[in-house]
Amino acid sequence: MTWLPYVALGALALALLATGLIAGSKVSLSGMMAVDNYAVFFKIIATVAVALVVLSSVDYMRGRRHAGEFYAFLLFATVAITVAAAATNLVMIYLALEFLSLTSAVLVCYRLDDPKSTEAALKYFFVRRGGQRGAALRHVADLWRHRLHGPVGDRQGGGHAD
């Protein structure tokens, strides 16, 4: 299907347009996501980077099975990166990183007919998904809550700067 990368590029172009349109607002999603210059910059960087990946994968994906899933998971990874860039709440940061980790794992094991891909998927599962990152994030969240906000704090990232 030769039109799939162009659909993905169109979706990325719409994401860039939407990023430009919301650049003036301050906070969305009940204060869990910030729309500041920092978030907009990294959303643009992530979207352009994934667009370059899509453009460079057109020849590689030509004639392969499940090309649509490949481009869909690239777009899902883009969503996870942009959510992580704009998140101000620890729960949103954790969810974005978990979502990015899952989409990355699927992209690692995308070619199941290749033994190297299957081996890489197993290594990714045991090394990356072994619980170390989740435990580290929970530890950082606990430190953030107790050190910066006191024993009864919130999970908002920007509250301690006021």
Residue 2 banded pLDDT, cuts 50, 70, 90: confident
Phi, psi dihedral angles at 53 (to 5 degrees): -65, -45
Residue 160 banded pLDDT, cuts 50, 70, 90: very low
Phi, psi dihedral angles at 43 (to 5 degrees): -65, -40
Q: Is the pTM of this model over 0.85?
A: no
- Rounded-to-10 torsion of CA 124, 129, 131, 137: 110
pLDDT higher than threshold 90 for residue 44: yes
82 or 126, which is more confident?
82
